[in-house]
Structures are given as structure tokens and as C-alpha cells.
Amino acid sequence: MKIQMTTTLHLWDRLAEAKSHLTPVQSKYRVLFEDSQDEPAKVLVPDPNWMAAALAGNILPPIDTYLRDRDVADGQPKEHPYAEPIGPMTEEEAIEYLIMKDISPAVWRDYQGNRVVLKITPVELIPSDRSFRNAWKITQDAERIAA
């Protein structure tokens, strides 16, 4: 279902309108990342309503507006809420967008170490047993995480 939005609407209003018209989409991917060696691996799970908005298009702002807004002081006006929305994305593009929006550039862009600190993985590879969740680390040799 294609939604027509006016660009004068705030991002929250566009997302609320999309939520009322679009069927939520559960992503088949999760993002595992480590932003500190002293903490367990984190799992980024896309919100089904956000994913539906990303796939539909004409709702989310360009990712570069979020990146520029990282340098804007709190309390100052941000660019992304009123930016011109972009078109529809594939699920893979939406996951990449989410990584750039929600994870520090130190993890996805600026990391220079020799360890893997970020993986996009199918949901089936995330352990369903959360008993040792605080010990999770990204394995360096396989497509799974180790407890």
C-alpha cells in the first residue's frame, strides 16, 4: 500500500500515519554488534512498524540528515524530522539504514580493529535461550554468536 505524505509533516506524524495504514512487517534479520569489549554483544531488532514504513517509502528522511544531526547540540533544531522523505527500500537497504541511524559510526564506519564487531544475521541464528545473555560475544570464525 502506497501512502502519500506531505513533506510539511513532522517525522513522528508521518510514522504515526503509516502505523495506522500499514501492516507491520517482521524483519527476517537482526544486527549483532559490540560497541565495547567490556560489554556483551547487543542485538538490534527492527520495529515491525518502522520496517513497514521503510518498505513503503515516502515516510523516512534520508540517512545523511541523521548523520548531520549527530553534530547538532541538544535543544537545537534538527534537520531530519522535516526532511524530504525518501522512496521505498528493500529489507536489506532498510537494515543498512537502521545500522547507520541507530549504531555509533565508531562501530559501522570508523572501526579499525581486526575483530568482527558487527554482523547482519538471520533471526534463526540468534539463540532463543537467553540464560547467558550477558556473556554473548560475536564469534570470529562462524555465522553465529557464542555464549
CA distance 85 to 35: 30
Place of cell 537467553: 130
- Categorize the per-residue pLDDT at 100 as very low, low, confident or very high, splitting at 50, 70 and 90: very high
Span 8-27, pLDDT tens digits = 799 999 999 999 999 999 99
DSSP state of 75: T
Span 72-89, pLDDT tens digits = 999 999 999 999 999 999
Of 9, 22, 32, 34, whose CA–CA distance to 119 is shortest?
32
pLDDT surpassing 80 at residue 112: no
Which grid cell is 37? 569489549
Which grid cell is 106? 565508531
CA dist 12 → 16, 88, 142 (Å): 6, 18, 39
Given a contact cutoff of 8 angstroms between Cβ atoms, the answer to whether 3 and 22 are in contact is yes
Place of cell 522535516: 82
For the entire predicted model, the pTM comes to 0.84
Which grid cell is 2? 502506497
Residue 7 pLDDT: 47
